[in-house]
Amino acid sequence: MSDTAADTGGRAGRRGRGGAGARRAARRGGAVRQLRAIERKIANFEVLGEEGLELIEHNAETVLEEIGLDFREDPETLAIWKEAGADVQGERVRFPRGLCRSLIKTAPASFTQHARNPERSVEIGGRNLVFAPVYGPPFVRDLDQGRRYATIEDFRNFVKLAYAIPALHHSGGTVCEPVDLPVNKRHLDMVYSHMRWSDKPFMGSVTAPERAEDTVEMAKLLFGADFVDQNCVLISLINVNSPMSYDNVMAGALKAYARAGQATIVTPFILAGAMAPVTAAGVLTQTLAEALAGMALTQLVRPGAPVVFGSFASSMSMQSGAPTFGTPEPAIVLYGAAQLARRLNVPFRSGGSLCGSKVPDAQAAYESAQTLLPGVLGGVNFMLHSAGWLEGGLASSYEKLVMDGDQLGMMQVMAEGIDLSENALAMEALREVGPGSHFLGCAHTQANFETAFYRSSIADNNSFEQWEAEGGKDAAARANALWKSMLAEYEPPPIDPGVDEALNAFMAKKKESMPDSMT
Amino acid sequence: MSDTAADTGGRAGRRGRGGAGARRAARRGGAVRQLRAIERKIANFEVLGEEGLELIEHNAETVLEEIGLDFREDPETLAIWKEAGADVQGERVRFPRGLCRSLIKTAPASFTQHARNPERSVEIGGRNLVFAPVYGPPFVRDLDQGRRYATIEDFRNFVKLAYAIPALHHSGGTVCEPVDLPVNKRHLDMVYSHMRWSDKPFMGSVTAPERAEDTVEMAKLLFGADFVDQNCVLISLINVNSPMSYDNVMAGALKAYARAGQATIVTPFILAGAMAPVTAAGVLTQTLAEALAGMALTQLVRPGAPVVFGSFASSMSMQSGAPTFGTPEPAIVLYGAAQLARRLNVPFRSGGSLCGSKVPDAQAAYESAQTLLPGVLGGVNFMLHSAGWLEGGLASSYEKLVMDGDQLGMMQVMAEGIDLSENALAMEALREVGPGSHFLGCAHTQANFETAFYRSSIADNNSFEQWEAEGGKDAAARANALWKSMLAEYEPPPIDPGVDEALNAFMAKKKESMPDSMT
């Protein structure tokens, strides 16, 4: 089995996706074959009928109208809502039925997030599916050093590996939290890492409104100020403080990005039983209400600003109270939330490849597959955490990043659905071979074999004896060798030296302007 | 985390399934809570539209009409086909268009396979889904002793563990191949093990027509001869010798069971690229043609005999030529084959929880989940190999049996779909808690918490620190402890001593009647 980065592409490059880019990349030498974002040719799996959808939509409006949402320590947002016709009492905002739904009509059904390499730009919405890596963990884990706090070096490594994984269409955001850098400055190095060590689209900082503004400024240096004002080059994650409240940090970042015409993902972040009711229908009702209000706020700030309906819902361990993943209840929620988003005509985001396991073992893989596949079948447009997530999001795993990346490649093929061309129908092969013979040598097999099956970068399909002779390694051990070879072979995408200089100058000036702080 | 067998039931027992049985079992003391077969409330995921379905159906008829199938060394079957109007030349049978399709109209759309404990009887067809364990491996594997040839003791252990896993609705057949027993007699001990150490429905021997007849005789001792003649108490696996041929062993067993009114599963067994074309549409065409002929043969032998459309299709490793599992191409085939079966109005069988890994690691779990979930969503009625399959079917794994069993429990919950009752909609909870608070203590959570979430028997969802303090075990290590405790706590279901004596007498007489043979 080969374990070079170039092998993680499966066969999909040949399927007419990214073909030209792949050839150009090959000519540049050393660069990896990349896949374009998925354009799903398969159906959406759905769990709710018309009646159920209307029931939940009705109840979400009731939540907005009768219970309302809090916007904390955020007079500007309260004023915006008052001006828009909402009932504002203290920090509580109650919304006339249909107000939020009506406001988000100006949001695009689909939009392009531009990458600095135009071949990596992604369309978010419609039948498209964009895979982005893990977001948020303060720890990293690998087989050699175990679990430890993440550093900016780990951050760069994850950016480089995400760049090298063909089916990761997006560089993501906080691929891990570089806790070795001051909190008030680390966003600069994180954003720069995405800009410099990858040419895929990426996410902006949301830990304070001014850090969101720094992200936009850096994007202007990379893309040009006019381009940024007229196009989406950033997408950023706004987690709702469920239940039913937004704090001024998240709402502040949301407004900063929306004002700049940049995309936000409004995500009710729900551990069912703690931040929402324990039932799927209850979670969906609350998710819809919270998402409606946040998405509507983006449109009040700047009509037409791209915004994504996000859902992150986990079940709970009855033993420990911890979130659990890959369980049936959140899958049901995901299918339903995707349906609700489609009815609002906005793109939909979920997680995927989630797990509660501490190590990249069978638990991690079962749970990851049981969150990844529902997302793909449910019709997700932007899937965060689709590779590398471990330990309920507390650790970014080097091994799991490449293992999940392999699964994403499989999903990319699966989403193509079934080929019914004359070649695929294979009647000539059936006639040629006939009863009792075999197809190995027939012309049809010869012509199609090389591209017929997804080729895994991780799976061992050798005989038991050969596997044993090669050391009897498990998947995690093979993944360990794979990510190391990918890092060793990594070559950075070219960048304009003047742009790079300007970015570094911006960061230096910012860093000098304030003392280090750990908040 | 508890690791007793009683904990592997998740919450589903409370969902009104098997409730009475569970209470009775509890009164018997020590017995496990069992789940009734799944009645799916979710939609079927489909990949083919009407046009694609008609195209493949048309092409399958062309294969039957123009290419035909071979029935090897089986003059009786050739005579049956000639009588039915087929064109028989030597061993090649060509079928007038529509003949097979027309013949299978007498096959039931759904049927009951009776278990000796009526509470364990299963309905096969319609929206039902029955999970059966791994079938066929000559090796077993556990963490303590590694990989070794299977024995009858292993066989009994797998029967007992399958009995103890609530979401395994079926005891299966060759849960492993007891190679310590003579080939010509081991079927007796295998069938007896299912009858004696479980009270779930089970599968019959197919390695020779006379062994199929032995199975039927033993079933008559257990169920009564009249009952067996009028009811289905056995289901047996008939693998087609793809491409496009049946040998006299498989066709012989098929006829023996059909004559006895017992169910068969006619399964084209396909490694794409070797036994069929490399393309999904080609595999589907051949699968349909082969299955149509076999299913029609059962109806010629005995109209009304229950028969299941089976599909087993794997992709191929381009490195080793070995079958690969959990890849996207076979998933597409499965969705399509299930659609073809539904249009024929017969039950559908697939594999599930398949993998090529040698050990119960992340590869095993990714691949298992990526075969299990497509089967559940695709609308499978009888899923063989749904727990315990390892190494491409060469080894039955003790650890994977219980890990997969846990996943089956999750699928059982997922197949319930979404609850839209007033309780589930949870509006009172949303009103009670409101913005910024939490749902942990509210009345709705208290009332629903215990049954709100599937409770995994394998997953560790404790904190990293607690997990580490408890030994930092991976899923396989926890599974090792679980199956041992399940075997330790196993109590056999009661059996009528007279029946037991008759079964043993039958076996003794059979064994005395012929010398041991290893063929």
Average pLDDT over residues B281-309: 98
Confidence of residue B410 (pLDDT cuts 50, 70, 90): very high
Is the peptide bond prior to B494 cis by the omega test (within 30 degrees of 0)?
no
Q: Is B245 close to A436, i.e. CB distance below 8 A?
A: yes
Q: Is A358 close to B468, i.e. CB distance below 8 A?
A: yes
Alpha-carbon distance A312 to nearest alpha carbon in chain B (angstroms): 16
Q: Is A434 close to B365, i.e. CB distance below 8 A?
A: no
Confidence of residue A212 (pLDDT cuts 50, 70, 90): very high
Could you tell me if A441 lies within 8 Å of chain B, comparing CB atoms? Answer: no
Could you tell me if A461 lies within 8 Å of chain B, comparing CB atoms? Answer: yes
Cα–Cα distances in angstroms (integers) from residue A271 to residues A133, A246, A324, A359, A469, in the given order: 21, 16, 9, 22, 45
Alpha-carbon distance A216 to nearest alpha carbon in chain B (angstroms): 30
Flag whether pLDDT at A367 surpasses 70.
yes
A35 CB-contact burial (10 Å; exposed 0-12 / middle 13-18 / buried 19+): buried
* pLDDT score of B354: 98
Flag whether pLDDT at B79 surpasses 60.
yes
Q: Is A55 close to B425, i.e. CB distance below 8 A?
A: yes
* pLDDT score of A14: 36
CA–CA dist B21, B33 (Å, integer)? 7
Instruction: Measure the CA angle with vertex A288, ends A282 and A291; round to 5°.
Output: 135
Q: What is the pTM of this model?
A: 0.94
**Nearest Cα to A202, choosing from A179, A169, A248?**
A169
Q: Which of B359, B430, B457 to mutate to probe the A interface, most A CBs <10 Å?
A: B430
Nearest to A460 among B363, B400, B454 (CB): B363
* pLDDT score of A519: 81
Q: Is A362 close to B448, i.e. CB distance below 8 A?
A: no
Chain B residue whose CA is closest to A44:
B45
Nearest to B361 among A373, A411, A476 (CB): A476
- Is residue A93 within 8 Å of residue A69, measured between CB atoms? yes
The per-residue pLDDT for range A88-105, each reduced to its tens digit, is: 999 999 999 999 999 999
CA–CA dist B308, B381 (Å, integer)? 9
Could you tell me if A433 lies within 8 Å of chain B, comparing CB atoms? Answer: yes
Flag whether pLDDT at A412 surpasses 50.
yes
Chain B residue whose CA is closest to A467:
B358
Instruction: Measure the CA angle with vertex B479, ends B478 and B480; round to 5°.
Output: 90
Mapped onto helix, strand or coil, the DSSP state of residue A109 is coil
Could you tell me if A417 lies within 8 Å of chain B, comparing CB atoms? Answer: yes
Could you tell me if A361 lies within 8 Å of chain B, comparing CB atoms? Answer: yes
Average pLDDT over residues B147-167: 98
Could you tell me if B487 lies within 8 Å of chain A, comparing CB atoms? Answer: no
**Nearest Cα to B417, choosing from A233, A275, A281?**
A281
Chain A residue whose CA is closest to B370:
A369
Q: Which of B270, B278, B327, B358 to mutate to probe the A interface, most A CBs <10 Å?
A: B278
* pLDDT score of A11: 42
- Is residue A63 within 8 Å of residue A286, measured between CB atoms? yes
Flag whether pLDDT at B18 surpasses 50.
no
Could you tell me if B453 lies within 8 Å of chain A, comparing CB atoms? Answer: yes
* pLDDT score of A15: 38
- Is residue B71 within 8 Å of residue A76, measured between CB atoms? no
Centre a 10 Å sphere on the Cβ of residue B449 and count the other Cβ atoms it contains: 15
Chain A residue whose CA is closest to B317:
A461
- Is residue B276 within 8 Å of residue B252, measured between CB atoms? no
Confidence of residue B33 (pLDDT cuts 50, 70, 90): confident
Flag whether pLDDT at B263 surpasses 60.
yes
The per-residue pLDDT for range A266-317, each reduced to its tens digit, is: 999 999 999 999 999 999 999 999 999 999 999 999 999 999 999 999 999 9
The per-residue pLDDT for range B372-383, each reduced to its tens digit, is: 999 999 999 999
* pLDDT-above-70 percentage for chain A: 94
A414 neighbourhood in chain B, CB within 8 Å: 328, 331-332
Average pLDDT over residues A183-188: 97
B363 neighbourhood in chain A, CB within 8 Å: 365, 458-460, 474-475
CA–CA dist A106, A112 (Å, integer)? 16
The per-residue pLDDT for range B94-132, each reduced to its tens digit, is: 999 999 999 999 999 999 999 999 999 999 999 999 999
Flag whether pLDDT at B16 surpasses 60.
no
Flag whether pLDDT at B27 surpasses 80.
no
How many CA atoms lie less than 13 Å away from B193 in the CB half-sphere? 29
* pLDDT score of A114: 98
Q: Is A435 close to B281, i.e. CB distance below 8 A?
A: no
Alpha-carbon distance B122 to nearest alpha carbon in chain A (angstroms): 23
- Is residue B402 within 8 Å of residue B486, measured between CB atoms? yes
Which residues have a Cβ under 8 Å from the Cβ of B187 and sit 6 or more positions away?
B205, B207, B211, B214, B215
On average, the pLDDT of chain B sits at 93
Flag whether pLDDT at B361 surpasses 80.
yes
The per-residue pLDDT for range B429-476, each reduced to its tens digit, is: 999 999 989 999 899 999 999 899 999 999 999 999 999 999 999 999
The per-residue pLDDT for range A461-510, each reduced to its tens digit, is: 999 999 999 999 999 999 999 999 999 999 999 999 999 999 999 999 99
The amino acid present at B4, given as its one-letter code, is: T
Flag whether pLDDT at B370 surpasses 60.
yes
Confidence of residue B63 (pLDDT cuts 50, 70, 90): very high
Alpha-carbon distance A355 to nearest alpha carbon in chain B (angstroms): 9
Flag whether pLDDT at B30 surpasses 90.
no
The per-residue pLDDT for range B231-258, each reduced to its tens digit, is: 999 999 999 999 999 999 999 999 999 9
Within B173-327, where are the H helices? 186-197, 209-223, 225-230, 248-259, 280-301
A324 neighbourhood in chain B, CB within 8 Å: 453, 456, 459, 461
Q: Is A438 close to B47, i.e. CB distance below 8 A?
A: no
Centre a 10 Å sphere on the Cβ of residue A34 and count the other Cβ atoms it contains: 24
Alpha-carbon distance A281 to nearest alpha carbon in chain B (angstroms): 5
Average pLDDT over residues B298-325: 95
- Is residue B215 within 8 Å of residue B183, measured between CB atoms? no
* pLDDT score of A22: 44
On average, the pLDDT of chain A sits at 93
* pLDDT score of B519: 81
Confidence of residue B319 (pLDDT cuts 50, 70, 90): confident
For the ranges B12-21, B93-102, B358-367, B443-452, the lowest mean pLDDT is seen at B12-21
Flag whether pLDDT at B12 surpasses 70.
no
Could you tell me if B451 lies within 8 Å of chain A, comparing CB atoms? Answer: no
Nearest to B424 among A280, A369, A472 (CB): A280
Write down how long chain A is: 519
Alpha-carbon distance A86 to nearest alpha carbon in chain B (angstroms): 16
Average pLDDT over residues B487-515: 97
* pLDDT-above-90 percentage for chain A: 91
Q: Quote the tokens at residue A44.
A: 């959406």
The alpha-carbon radius of gyration of chain B (Å, integer) is 23
* pLDDT score of B13: 37
Could you tell me if A331 lies within 8 Å of chain B, comparing CB atoms? Answer: yes
* pLDDT score of B24: 43
Could you tell me if A463 lies within 8 Å of chain B, comparing CB atoms? Answer: yes
Residue carrying the six token digits 């799996």: A45
* pLDDT score of B318: 80
Nearest to B373 among A241, A370, A456 (CB): A370
B457 CB-contact burial (10 Å; exposed 0-12 / middle 13-18 / buried 19+): buried
Which residues have a Cβ under 8 Å from the Cβ of B517 and sit 6 or more positions away?
B182, B183, B184
Alpha-carbon distance A17 to nearest alpha carbon in chain B (angstroms): 17
Q: Which of B7, B241, B355, B461 to mutate to probe the A interface, most A CBs <10 Å?
A: B461
Confidence of residue B31 (pLDDT cuts 50, 70, 90): low
The per-residue pLDDT for range A37-80, each reduced to its tens digit, is: 999 999 999 999 999 999 999 999 999 999 999 999 999 999 99
Mapped onto helix, strand or coil, the DSSP state of residue B10 is coil
Q: Is A324 close to B461, i.e. CB distance below 8 A?
A: yes
Could you tell me if B143 lies within 8 Å of chain A, comparing CB atoms? Answer: no
Confidence of residue A23 (pLDDT cuts 50, 70, 90): very low
Could you tell me if A140 lies within 8 Å of chain B, comparing CB atoms? Answer: no
A281 neighbourhood in chain B, CB within 8 Å: 418-420, 424-426
A420 neighbourhood in chain B, CB within 8 Å: 51-52, 55, 281
How many CA atoms lie less than 13 Å away from A396 in the CB half-sphere? 30
Which residues have a Cβ under 8 Å from the Cβ of A79 and sit 6 or more positions away?
none
Average pLDDT over residues A362-377: 98
* pLDDT score of B72: 97
Write down how long chain B is: 519
Q: Which of B397, B422, B453, B473 to mutate to probe the A interface, most A CBs <10 Å?
A: B453
* pLDDT score of B32: 59
Taking phi over 0 as left and psi of -120 to 50 as alpha, with beta for the rest, B111 belongs to beta
Chain A residue whose CA is closest to B361:
A362
Flag whether pLDDT at B10 surpasses 80.
no
